[in-house]
């Protein structure tokens, strides 16, 4: 009898496929808190929904994690998407069975919330204080948010989030704008024989010029990112093999940044051997072409090959490591093709939940990724974030980051590229005023030190927000 005719075994394989990333107890991710407090843009949904119940916060935190894992390095596009899809599906069942909701109609449910955020920053445009062009401002952001889920089957669902609001600058009214923040995720799993197929589509919107240290001198950089693809898993107990394809599209909505618009097609192959129930090691391959809509940046083909390891000695401690070789080749555009670029990528992540109140995450790595105004950004990064639930209604978050970037990695558009170091610290305190009302106070500081003095900046930011969940 084939495996596809055994429902119980099929269900076990669908579950087992996702044990590569056995979930630790749910804790906020660095990406969500850092994105919120580092920028003047609308907050990411994980932070906005801080008034939710514990299960609901897990739901929204998952969406935020998917957004924070949105791919940047074209040569490793599919590998990053694989990690996102894997994590998402593994938690789908448990998260939404117990999720709170405001509206329920049959299988469809939606959680609604409203928030008001006030912010002060001393450097709206990320400009150098030495030039005297740094401007401070007060910003107000009323928002309405909806996070919806429609389960298709036990392991398949459609998730959609939408935030609508307005951003008002007291002094710099040229940045006033309507805020529309879509986000969606479609995941569908099915079995054919011994193979598990995962079809996925993820949509996210970002409007944060400070999400990396590349940009200076601007207050906005709005982009829409969509990833659609297929992941096939062949599980042979101690050997797990994945094959996949992803189509990744970026669309810019900010004048002057249209050169980011691109289409990327990526293939992946990944195979791991479980040497121990807690240890998985393997090899990974990826590659594919990137085509820019504008001809300012050069179309390219990327190839990468490497190894990875995942070790989870306890339910509260997890380590992940990966590294390998990456190659980019370029075509001519408005500018001649730069020389081929080859180098190495690496990553290390450790997550430790010390107890039900305290946890921390350390992340370190090197990414070779498409730049905002250059063909490639060579980025070294390190971050440490801690989450401390002081008492039932009070939580504290503290995070540190360091980035070392080189926008001249492919020696294109070097006139506007730079090499820089960027340092960041953020702190936030949340208080659950009532069952439905949450207050949060945040502080963030960024310092960028570029080899081009005009691109240096430092920025202080203070935010105060109230979120009400209906």
Cα–Cα distance measured from residue 83 to residue 105, given in angstroms and rounded to the nearest whole number? 32
Range of the domain at 295: 3-469
pLDDT value of residue 37: 31
Pairwise pLDDT comparison (50 vs 165), residue with the higher score: 165
Structure tokens of 367?
């990414």
pLDDT value of residue 98: 53
Cα–Cα distance measured from residue 399 to residue 465, given in angstroms and rounded to the nearest whole number? 19
pTM for this entry? 0.76
pLDDT value of residue 48: 32
CB neighbours of 173 closer than 8 A, spacing ≥ 6?
none
Cα–Cα distance measured from residue 22 to residue 307, given in angstroms and rounded to the nearest whole number? 20
Q: Total domain count for the chain?
A: 1
72, 71, 293, 96: which is closest to 202 by C-alpha?
71
- Cβ atoms < 10 Å from Cβ of 153: 9
Three-state DSSP at 85 gives: helix
pLDDT value of residue 79: 55
* CA angle (317, 320, 326) in 5-degree steps: 170
pLDDT tens by residue, 53-90: 333 333 333 323 333 333 334 445 555 555 544 544 44
CB 172 within 8 A of CB 124: yes
Cα–Cα distance measured from residue 101 to residue 97, given in angstroms and rounded to the nearest whole number? 11
- Cβ atoms < 10 Å from Cβ of 204: 23
Three-state DSSP at 455 gives: helix
- Rounded to a whole number of angstroms, the CA Rg of the chain reads 22
Cα–Cα distance measured from residue 422 to residue 425, given in angstroms and rounded to the nearest whole number? 10
Rounded alpha-carbon distances, angstroms, from residue 225 to 33, 184, 185, 238, 452:
20, 11, 12, 35, 30
CB 21 within 8 A of CB 159: no
Rounded alpha-carbon distances, angstroms, from residue 291 to 231, 255, 263, 279, 328:
22, 20, 5, 38, 13
Three-state DSSP at 68 gives: helix
CB 412 within 8 A of CB 375: yes
Q: Band of the pLDDT at 149, cuts 50, 70, 90?
A: confident
pLDDT tens by residue, 304-361: 999 999 999 999 999 999 999 999 999 988 878 888 999 999 999 999 999 989 999 9
Structure tokens of 228?
């659609």
- CATH code of residue 408: 2.40.160
pLDDT value of residue 411: 55
Q: Let me know if 348 is exposed, middle or buried by CB neighbors in 10 A (0-12, 13-18, 19+).
A: middle
Half-sphere exposure of 219 (CA within 13 A, CB side): 21
Cα–Cα distance measured from residue 146 to residue 338, given in angstroms and rounded to the nearest whole number? 45
DSSP 257: -
pLDDT value of residue 423: 96
CB neighbours of 336 closer than 8 A, spacing ≥ 6?
none
Cα–Cα distance measured from residue 211 to residue 209, given in angstroms and rounded to the nearest whole number? 6
């Amino acid at each position: 009898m084939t495996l596809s005719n055994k429902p119980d075994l099929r269900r076990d394989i669908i579950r087992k496929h996702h044990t590569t990333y056995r979930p630790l107890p749910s804790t906020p991710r660095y990406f969500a808190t850092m994105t919120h407090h580092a920028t003047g843009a609308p907050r990411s949904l994980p932070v906005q929904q801080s008034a939710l119940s514990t299960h609901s916060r897990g739901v929204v935190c998952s969406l935020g994690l998917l957004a924070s894992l949105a791919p940047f390095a074209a040569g490793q596009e599919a590998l990053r998407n694989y990690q996102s899809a894997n994590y998402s599906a593994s938690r789908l069942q448990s998260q939404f069975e117990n999720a709170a909701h405001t509206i329920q109609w049959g299988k469809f449910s939606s959680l609604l919330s409203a928030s008001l955020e006030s912010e002060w920053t001393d450097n709206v445009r990320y400009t150098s204080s030495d030039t005297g062009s740094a401007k401070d401002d007060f910003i107000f952001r009323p928002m309405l948010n909806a996070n919806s889920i429609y389960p298709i089957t036990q392991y398949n669902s459609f998730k959609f989030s939408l935030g609508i609001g307005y951003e008002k600058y007291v002094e710099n009214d040229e940045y006033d704008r309507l805020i529309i923040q879509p986000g969606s995720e479609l995941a569908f799993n099915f079995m054919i024989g011994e193979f598990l197929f995962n079809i996925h589509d993820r949509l996210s919107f970002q409007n944060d010029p400070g999400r990396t240290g590349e940009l200076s001198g601007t207050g906005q950089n709005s982009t829409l990112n969509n990833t659609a693809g297929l992941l096939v898993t062949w599980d042979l107990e101690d050997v797990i093999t994945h094959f996949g394809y992803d189509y990744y599209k970026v669309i810019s909505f900010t004048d002057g940044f249209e050169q980011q618009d691109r289409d990327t097609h990526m293939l992946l192959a990944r195979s791991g051997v479980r040497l121990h129930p807690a240890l998985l090691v393997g090899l990974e391959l990826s590659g594919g072409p990137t085509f820019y809509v504008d001809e300012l940046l050069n179309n390219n083909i990327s190839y990468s090959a490497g190894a990875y390891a995942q070790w989870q000695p306890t339910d509260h401690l997890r380590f992940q490591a990966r590294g390998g070789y990456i190659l980019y080749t370029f075509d001519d555009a408005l500018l001649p093709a730069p020389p081929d670029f080859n180098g190495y990528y690496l990553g290390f992540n450790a997550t430790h939940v010390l107890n039900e109140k305290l946890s921390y995450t350390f992340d370190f790595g090197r990414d070779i990724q498409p730049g905002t105004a250059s063909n490639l950004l060579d980025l070294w990064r390190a971050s440490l974030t801690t989450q401390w639930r002081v008492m039932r209604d009070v939580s504290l978050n503290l995070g540190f980051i360091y980035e070392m970037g080189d926008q001249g990695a492919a020696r294109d558009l070097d006139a506007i590229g730079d090499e820089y170091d960027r340092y960041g610290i953020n702190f936030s305190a949340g208080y659950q005023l009532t069952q439905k009302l949450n207050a949060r106070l945040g502080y963030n500081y960024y310092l960028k030190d570029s080899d081009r003095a005009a691109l240096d900046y430092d920025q202080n930011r203070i935010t105060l927000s109230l979120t009400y969940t209906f």
